[in-house]
């Protein structure tokens, strides 16, 4: 048998395990394997290799799994609380906007009345009205931006590797995992 034939057989043997081969190729392979000892040995060697890779095991420490669960629960609670706060913030913003929109005509008249009463130029009381309108929105916007900045810093390294873990490592404890007192 030619070396080319053996090479083709080996390619098919590997392909059968990596990506699969057609029925015709499988049939050809079986026929060839019945009469070629050299390729048969190669097939066994390949099989042993794959079995070896499959047999490797690295079980995690049960304490690691338990600690991971606790951290995930703790973080899930934090995230739920954060979401609730964000929802409340959005709701109050929406309510504030609706109230502002409905009260705008009344407020305009109020500013106009005061402006005329104390003989202010129109531009002054109109500016006052605009400020009255925009200051709360600006404050809410500032709070929101500050809140976002705080949240994004929390979601960074500190979120996945919190304070107690760093402290535990720094203090040379056996584990960097949290204890019940940390949580």
Binding mask 70-89 for other proteins (x = CB under 8 A): -xxx-xx--xx---------
Instruction: Determine contact, residues 139/161, Cβ cutoff 8 Å.
Output: no
Q: What is the DSSP letter of 182?
A: T
For 43, counting Cβ atoms within 10 Å of its Cβ (0-12 exposed, 13-18 middle, 19+ buried), the class is buried
DSSP 161: S
Closer to other proteins by Cβ: residue 122 or 154: 154
How many Å apart are CA 43 and CA 9, to the nearest integer?
9
Which of positions 17-56 make contact with other proteins (CB under 8 A)?
17-19, 45-46, 48-50, 52-56
- In angstroms, give the least distance from the CB of 60 to other proteins: 4
User: Would you count residue 69 as binding other proteins (CB under 8 A)?
Assistant: yes
DSSP-derived secondary structure letter, 177: S
By CB under 8 A, what part of segment 83-122 binds other proteins? none
Residues engaged in binding other proteins (CB under 8 A): 14, 17-19, 45-46, 48-50, 52-61, 64-65, 67-69, 71-73, 75-76, 79-80, 155, 159-161, 176-177
């Amino acid at each position: 048998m030619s070396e080319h034939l053996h090479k083709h057989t080996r390619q098919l043997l590997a392909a059968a395990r990596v990506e699969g081969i057609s029925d015709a190729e499988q049939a050809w392979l079986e026929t060839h394997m019945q009469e070629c000892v050299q390729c048969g040995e190669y097939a066994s060697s390949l099989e042993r290799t794959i079995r070896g890779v499959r047999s490797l095991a690295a079980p995690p420490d049960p304490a690691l799994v338990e600690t991971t669960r606790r951290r995930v629960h703790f973080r899930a609670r934090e995230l739920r609380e954060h979401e609730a706060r964000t929802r409340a913030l959005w709701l109050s913003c929406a309510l504030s906007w609706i109230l502002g929109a409905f009260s705008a005509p009344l407020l305009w008249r109020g500013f106009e009345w005061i402006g005329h009463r104390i003989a202010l130029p129109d531009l002054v009381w109109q500016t006052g009205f605009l400020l009255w309108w925009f200051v709360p929105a600006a404050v809410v916007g500032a709070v929101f931006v500050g809140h976002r900045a705080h949240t994004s810093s929390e979601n960074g390294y500190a979120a996945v590797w919190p304070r107690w873990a760093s402290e535990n490592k720094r203090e040379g404890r056996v584990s960097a995992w949290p204890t019940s007192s940390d949580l």
